[in-house]
């Protein structure tokens, strides 16, 4: 018995293009930026002209759905691999415009030289050269006369060999008869299998993920506003990074500018906050999980296809409702009040810049909690505290660092069962007991990674608590973070390197402290016993060498803010290993105090 779950059929390029034009094959990427350079389009045409293989296309047929009147509708094919190649053919042979990376609509024109039989990207010089056909798409226009094209070319090039020109131009026209293989996947395949097939067939290409499938489903839908919703997601993500892009949307996409989505994202034109720059994957995860109470995007693919999970059938009414609910989730995500309040909550915990918010999935679920809390009318101060504490717990415990979709699904279902506040608080208490702060965290902080979640949290704690930079009298850690502060080695790096210490040892995060660059430079490679003695002298009328603190009590307060043991100021300089162990405990204790105040 055959287990083959696909069919492979060669089709003429002309048939493929006809299917695309008629909607029989949906190209979800057709409305997204075309990432190929024009030279790759030229190379594709050249390969087809020479009869070279150009790779298989992979199509996945949407399932047949039951309509409201009881009849069924056969699903269209969605092209999940080959969008760029087909878009290139549409642009080069049919003259279709494409979107650039800057979302500008342009026409890619490919020229052909019949005498040399070569393709080239059209340039002003080529356009003026009679030996070139400056735009091959003219040969494929409806009603275009092959004889007229040959005659016109020979008039411009009377010395050319008429027989050769005729044969070559006819050969160009015939490239649409060349075949391309289409791998059509069975409609009942699950998304994991489809993803695995894609990766195995296209190992050299871009990785495909669940969000890509969702975006394909959205864009290929022409019944429930899918393509407009797709643009809203794309445009919002682009605007959050480049607010000036709004002008291009208004200029290049008047239809979208007149849609209901534009007013909901127009506020981004004045936004200059990069604390949370979401990708389309982030938007989909937050919108789907908060609105559908599920965490796996493969379920969203099924729902947008019309799957009824109870009857295990596909129904148009399910697809319609799913598009409506997803749209609601996306609109809630884009809401200015929601989005700005979410970033405000993160910043209120001390996460001052995007350099301190590296766990995107932790932010995503924190946003889900915020949206759920708003929906459940949780008091504002209680919700803010819950979001802050949940986010920090996730950062410190790496809750979504692996298998985020499974973790999202588990957590959102537990929230449904146990209630938002009760579930979140019980998880926080279980994940961060006293033993975590007192025993486990100091051990976990034995790392040399400057982007360790523990060091990032430590910087946020210092920022939140209003700590001053190391040896600074007036400059706070918050200011240093906002101005790309120096990370200073308390036991100077060069001093330790001179002792033969390896990088992984002298770069321990327990040896890091935030300091003004001038203080860092002044200390240089001095042994700790030298510059700490000078600091002590600075507090008793000696020369002021490092920063502006000249009072011992003020110096010790600065030491406390930066988790520096007092004995260093008294000349009791421990071994580097003992110093690291002591400081890890002090840093963990600070994090505990910080968290309890969130």
Assigned domain for 437 exists: no
Same domain, 458 and 519: yes
Number of structural domains in the chain: 3
Domain extent at residue 68 = 6-201
b/e sequence 30-47, b meaning 16+ C-beta within 10 Å? bebebebebeebbbbbbb
Q: Is residue 1 part of a domain?
A: no
Q: How far apart are CA 346 and CA 463, in angstroms?
A: 12
Do 67 and 181 sit in the same domain of this protein?
yes
Q: Cβ(437)–Cβ(592) under 8 Å?
A: yes
In this structure, the answer to whether residues 188 and 234 fall within a common structural domain is no
Does residue 450 form part of some domain? yes
Report if residue 478 sits inside a domain.
yes
- Tokens (6 digits) for 557: 């307060």
Which of the listed residues 201, 223, 242 is the one where a domain comes to its end?
201
How far is the C-alpha of 172 from the C-alpha of 182, rounded, in Å?
22
For residue 166, is it within any domain?
yes
**253 and 167 share a domain?**
no
φ, ψ (nearest 5 deg) of residue 415: -60, -40
Q: What is the pLDDT along the chain (598 residues), one digit of tens a residue?
A: 456 777 888 889 999 888 887 777 766 544 456 677 889 999 999 999 999 888 888 888 776 666 556 665 566 777 777 888 888 898 888 888 887 766 677 889 999 999 999 999 999 999 999 999 999 999 998 888 999 999 999 999 999 999 999 999 999 999 999 999 888 887 777 666 776 676 666 545 555 677 887 887 888 777 898 889 999 999 999 999 989 989 888 888 888 999 999 999 999 998 888 899 999 999 999 999 999 999 999 899 889 888 888 888 888 899 999 999 999 999 999 999 999 999 999 999 999 998 899 889 999 999 999 999 999 999 999 999 999 999 999 999 999 988 888 999 999 999 999 999 999 999 999 999 999 999 999 999 999 988 899 999 999 999 999 999 999 999 999 999 998 777 899 999 999 999 888 988 999 999 999 999 899 889 999 999 999 999 999 999 888 998 889 999 999 999 999 999 999 999 899 999 999 999 999 999 999 999 999 9
- Residue 15: half-sphere exposure toward Cβ, Cα within 13 Å: 10
Residue 163's φ and ψ, nearest 5 degrees, are: -65, -40
224 and 321 assigned to the same domain = yes
For residues 182 and 235, state if they share a domain. Answer: no
407 and 502 co-located in one domain: no
Same domain, residue pair 424 and 485: no
Q: Is residue 438 situated within a structural domain? A: no
Whether residues 60 and 140 share a domain: the answer is: yes
Compute the distance between CA of residue 90 and CA of residue 137 in angstroms, rounded to an integer. 9
Backbone angles phi, psi at 472, to 5 degrees: -90, 140
CA gap 212, 232 in Å, rounded: 15
284 plus 342 within the same structural domain: yes
- 56 domain residue, yes or no: yes
Q: What's the rounded Cα separation, in Å, for the pair 563 and 584?
A: 9
Domain boundary among 147, 166, 201: 201
Domain boundary, last residue among 158, 176, 201: 201
For residues 138 and 234, membership in a common domain is answered with no
Q: Give the span between the Cα atoms of 55 and 60, in whole angstroms.
A: 17
Flag whether 572 is in a domain: yes
Residues 296 and 346 in one domain: yes
């Amino acid at each position: 018995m055959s287990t083959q779950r696909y069919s492979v059929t060669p089709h003429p390029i002309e048939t493929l293009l006809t299917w695309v034009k008629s909607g029989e094959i949906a190209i979800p990427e057709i409305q997204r930026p075309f990432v190929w350079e024009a030279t790759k389009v030229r190379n594709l045409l050249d390969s087809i002209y020479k009869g070279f293989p150009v790779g298989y296309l992979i199509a996945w047929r949407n399932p047949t759905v039951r309509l409201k009147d009881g009849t069924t509708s056969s699903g269209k094919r969605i092209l999940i691999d080959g969008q760029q190649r087909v878009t290139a053919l549409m642009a080069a042979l049919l003259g279709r415009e494409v979107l650039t990376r800057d979302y500008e609509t342009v026409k890619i024109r490919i020229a052909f030289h019949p005498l040399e039989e070569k393709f080239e990207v059209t340039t002003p010089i080529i356009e003026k050269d009679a030996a070139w056909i400056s735009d091959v798409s003219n040969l494929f226009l409806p009603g275009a006369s092959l004889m007229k094209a040959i005659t016109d070319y020979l008039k411009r090039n009377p010395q050319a060999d008429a027989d050769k020109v005729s044969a070559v131009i006819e050969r160009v026209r015939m490239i649409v008869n060349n075949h391309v293989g289409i791998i059509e996947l069975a409609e009942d395949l699950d998304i994991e299998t489809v993803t695995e097939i894609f990766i195995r067939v296209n190992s050299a290409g871009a990785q495909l993920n669940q969000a890509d499938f969702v975006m394909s489903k959205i864009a290929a839908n022409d019944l429930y506003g899918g393509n407009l919703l797709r643009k809203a997601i794309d445009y919002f993500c682009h605007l959050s990074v480049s607010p000036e892009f709004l002008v291009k949307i208004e200029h290049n996409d008047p239809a979208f500018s007149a849609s209901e989505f534009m007013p909901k994202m127009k506020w981004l034109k004045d936004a200059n906050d990069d604390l949370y720059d979401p990708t389309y994957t982030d938007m989909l995860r937050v919108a789907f999980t908060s609105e559908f109470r599920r965490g796996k995007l493969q379920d969203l693919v099924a729902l947008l296809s019309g799957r009824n999970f109870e009857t295990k059938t596909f129904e148009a009414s399910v697809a319609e409702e799913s598009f409506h609910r997803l749209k609601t989730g996306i609109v809630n995500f884009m809401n200015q009040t929601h989005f700005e309040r979410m970033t405000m909550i993160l910043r209120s915990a001390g996460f001052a810049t995007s350099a301190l918010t590296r766990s995107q999935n932790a932010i995503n679920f924190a946003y889900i909690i915020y949206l759920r809390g708003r929906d459940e009318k949780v008091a504002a101060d209680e919700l803010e505290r819950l979001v802050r504490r949940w986010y920090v717990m996730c950062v410190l415990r790496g809750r979504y660092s692996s298998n985020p979709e499974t973790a999202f699904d588990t957590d959102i279902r537990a929230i449904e069962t146990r209630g938002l506040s009760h579930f979140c608080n019980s998880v926080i208490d279980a994940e961060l007991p006293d033993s975590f702060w007192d025993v486990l965290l100091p051990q976990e902080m034995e790392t040399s990674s400057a982007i360790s979640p523990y060091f990032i949290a430590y910087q946020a704690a210092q920022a939140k608590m209003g700590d001053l930079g190391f040896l600074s009298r007036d400059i706070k850690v918050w200011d240093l973070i906002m101005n790309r502060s120096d990370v200073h080695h308390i036991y100077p790096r060069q001093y330790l390197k001179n002792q033969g210490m390896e990088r992984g040892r002298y770069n321990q995060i327990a040896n890091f402290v935030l300091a003004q660059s001038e203080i860092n430079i002044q200390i240089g490679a001095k042994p700790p016993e030298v510059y700490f003695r000078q600091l002590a002298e600075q507090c008793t009328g000696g020369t002021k060498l490092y920063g502006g603190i000249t009072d011992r009590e003020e110096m010790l307060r600065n030491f406390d803010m930066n988790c520096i043991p007092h004995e260093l100021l008294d000349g009791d300089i421990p071994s580097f290993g003992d110093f690291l162990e002591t400081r890890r405990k002090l840093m963990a204790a600070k994090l505990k105090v910080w968290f309890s105040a969130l």
